[in-house]
Amino acid sequence: MTITPYDPSVFLAIVPEISILVVLSLVLLFDAVWQDEQRRNLGWLTFAGLLVTLGLSLTVARPSAEGALIFGGMLRHDNLAYVLRILFLFGAAVTALLGMDTPNLGRRGEFYLLMLASTFGMLLMASAADLIMLFLAIETTTIPLYILAGFFYRDDKSTESGFKYLLFGAMTSAISLYGFTLLFGFSGQTNLYGIASGLASGQVPVFSVLVAMLLILIGFGFKISVAPMQFWAPDVYEGAPTPVAGFLSTASKAAGFVVLMRFFVVVFPGIEQYWTLVIAVVAALTMTIGNFIALAQKNIKRLLAYSSIAHAGYALVGVVAVSELGINSVVFYLGAYLLTNLAAFGVAATFYRVVGSDEIAAYAGLSRRKPGLALVMLVAFLSLAGMPPFAGFIAKIVVFAAAVEAGFVWLVVIGVLNSIVGLYYYLRVLNVVYHYRSEDEEKPLEITPPYALALVLLVAGIIVVGTLFAPFFGLGNLAALALF
Amino acid sequence: MIPLSWYLILAAAMFCVGLYGVLARRNAIAILLGIELMLNAVNINVVAFWRYLNPENIAGQAFALIVFAVAAAEVAVGLALIIALYRRRNTIVAEEIDLLKW
């Protein structure tokens, strides 16, 4: 992989990033100009800005099929980054909608600003091809998220959530940074492709590379919340503002996955038989821990947190395959999961705004109180459980198919058993929503236009991806081809 | 000249001290200090590797500078979050911050 020499046209590749910075400055400007009531419109501004950015990344910033190393090897402009950008931008746009009417959040310019900054980092994470760029992109994504998790600084739970996220996040990022420096030392290079060829020369003992790999996996494992680095997720999701929790569990996790895939596939082909085994064990543990602890949850956000841990495990099953189909299935899984989980958190945010409770018991009678919202919940939870005709079903099938193809049948057996456990707790929530009665059934439950728009977009997405999956699968394939 | 391995051993030791601090200390500020030690160990590693193995490649220096900058940003955010927490709870002892569990 050679580095493309500088040419002004490389700036086309970072047009989406530039566009996000423009939106960010506009938010900053209007936050100063607008008064309290008008500030809610910052949400529409962010939403529109992100859609424009999405349009730009679909048109102007399209990479060539073989990809190119640009900016002195700092970024790799390829289809993997292209496809993941679509996910991040869509996720951030929906999160802006979900945040708009959340009390103490939607009228604060800081929320949109930090979210845009974090999205900016994610776009760079998707294309980073150099240790320095990668580290910087990860931190640009994570540091705004620490603040967002602790955004309600007058709320006990939110401050605690931000605090825990920061301590675990900073510690794991320091550990993986140590791994980065070891790789730099082994090869004398910071470019991922340069490191790969340095390691391939065979002068570095396998054991040393394994140590560096494990250290790096700790940092990446934290980002995607897999066992044994999963314990922060429930606490942080419960305390963080609900739209932020949705963003953390989807876009931020997808960013972690793309970095993991690119890094491990590109840098560690020499020790593939070791790292696939490590990741297979991690995936099995993650699915099992996530699903079994989720069984006991009474709070919807904690339940979704454990379910999101389990889903990280399912997606890892696809990473283990290290094949075209494997990477393809993971990208598809991330897309389906982003739609589904944002919808689930969107329902929780809508509900919390009116009722003021995240307890599952409070959802009793929802199907009579607001049939539409209950229906969205039904779609989201059945898709999470992996039921046809929703996106979650196809996503699980392709991930498991990739692992079977690669010979990890035992892992797929564990995955299927886990899906059955998962089905139980998703249906338990739907049982409360549809069968339980409550005295509040007559009380109105207002769904404001931004929430309605976000939920309709997500539900439409879940059904379209679940039924007409071929074009989306094709996008995943495009992304996978960029790595091999 | 001092051999490269001395620097690496120093960095590894400092990293372990920092990690121990993060895992064993109860005070949130001390935990942050531990993280800083870990990041400084990383910097020693980077600069030593750069100087001994590949001094004409400027990337090593740039890496160390960027680690400084990010560490500073992380601490700024960390202290702000700790102050917000202290105002609510009047404590920064990690074990007493246990509203969210299981």
Using a CB–CB cutoff of 8 Å, tell me whether B64 touches chain A. no
Cα end-to-end span (Å), chain B: 54
Average pLDDT value for residue range A284-288: 94
Q: Which residues of B touch A150 (CB under 8 A)?
A: 81, 84-85
Q: Is residue B60 situated within a structural domain?
A: yes
Q: Is residue A309 situated within a structural domain?
A: yes
Average pLDDT value for residue range A28-47: 91
The whole-chain average pLDDT of chain A stands at: 92
Q: Is residue A49 situated within a structural domain?
A: yes
Nearest CA distance, B1 vs chain A (angstrom): 19
Q: Which residues of A touch B13 (CB under 8 A)?
A: none
CA dist A374 and A377 (Å) reads 5
- Identify the domain containing residue A341 by its residue range: 8-481
Is A159 within 8 Å of B19 when comparing Cβ atoms? no
Task: Tell me if ipTM is over 0.90.
Answer: yes
Q: Which residues of A touch B87 (CB under 8 A)?
A: 153
Average pLDDT value for residue range A51-76: 90
Q: Out of B35, B70, B78, whose CB is closest to A136?
A: B70
Domain count, chain A: 1
Which among A53, A71, A54, A56 has a CA at the least distance from the CA of A5?
Answer: A71
Residue type, A177: L
Quick one: pLDDT at residue A82?
A: 94
Which among B65, B43, B44, B46 has a CA at the least distance from the CA of B54?
Answer: B46
Quick one: pLDDT at residue A65?
A: 83
Q: Is residue B81 situated within a structural domain?
A: yes
pLDDT tens figures, A162-183: 999 999 999 999 999 999 999 9
Domain count, chain B: 1
Using a CB–CB cutoff of 8 Å, tell me whether A185 touches chain B. yes
CA distances from A210 to A26, A129, A163, A213 (A): 46, 20, 32, 5
Q: Is residue A115 situated within a structural domain?
A: yes
Using a CB–CB cutoff of 8 Å, tell me whether A164 touches chain B. yes
Which among B73, B58, B39 has a CA at the least distance from the CA of A184?
Answer: B58
Q: Is residue B29 situated within a structural domain?
A: yes
Using a CB–CB cutoff of 8 Å, tell me whether B22 touches chain A. yes
Q: Does A159 score more than 60 pLDDT?
A: yes
Quick one: pLDDT at residue A1?
A: 65
pLDDT tens figures, A39-48: 889 999 999 9
Q: Is residue B27 situated within a structural domain?
A: yes
Q: Is residue A444 situated within a structural domain?
A: yes
Average pLDDT value for residue range A298-314: 94
Q: At what angle do helices A371-385 and A324-355 cross, to 10 degrees?
A: 150
Is B97 within 8 Å of A238 when comparing Cβ atoms? no
Domain of B79, CATH number, reads 1.10.287.3510
Is A135 within 8 Å of B42 when comparing Cβ atoms? no
Quick one: pLDDT at residue B102?
A: 57
Which among A4, A334, A143, A163 has a CA at the least distance from the CA of B31?
Answer: A163
Q: Which residues of B touch A189 (CB under 8 A)?
A: 54, 57, 59
Q: Is residue A1 situated within a structural domain?
A: no
Average pLDDT value for residue range A459-472: 93
pLDDT tens figures, A79-133: 999 999 999 999 999 999 999 998 889 889 999 999 999 999 999 999 999 999 9
pLDDT tens figures, A434-445: 998 888 888 888
A212-247 burial code (b ≥16 CB/10 A, e <16): bbbbbbbbbbbbbbbbebbbbbbbbbbbbbbbbbbb
- Identify the domain containing residue B31 by its residue range: 4-96
Using a CB–CB cutoff of 8 Å, tell me whether A175 touches chain B. yes
Best of B63, B79, B92, B102 to substitute, by most chain A Cβ atoms within 10 angstroms, is B63
Q: Does A370 score more than 60 pLDDT?
A: yes
Using a CB–CB cutoff of 8 Å, tell me whether A295 touches chain B. no
- The dihedral over CA atoms of A107, A241, A423, A453, expressed in degrees to the nearest 10, equals 10
pLDDT tens figures, A234-257: 999 999 999 999 999 999 999 999
CA dist A293 and A291 (Å) reads 6
Using a CB–CB cutoff of 8 Å, tell me whether A358 touches chain B. no
Is B100 within 8 Å of A181 when comparing Cβ atoms? no
For residue A203, name the pLDDT band (cuts at 50, 70, 90).
confident
Quick one: pLDDT at residue B40?
A: 95
Using a CB–CB cutoff of 8 Å, tell me whether A132 touches chain B. yes
Ranges in chain B, pLDDT < 50: none
Average pLDDT value for residue range A186-205: 88
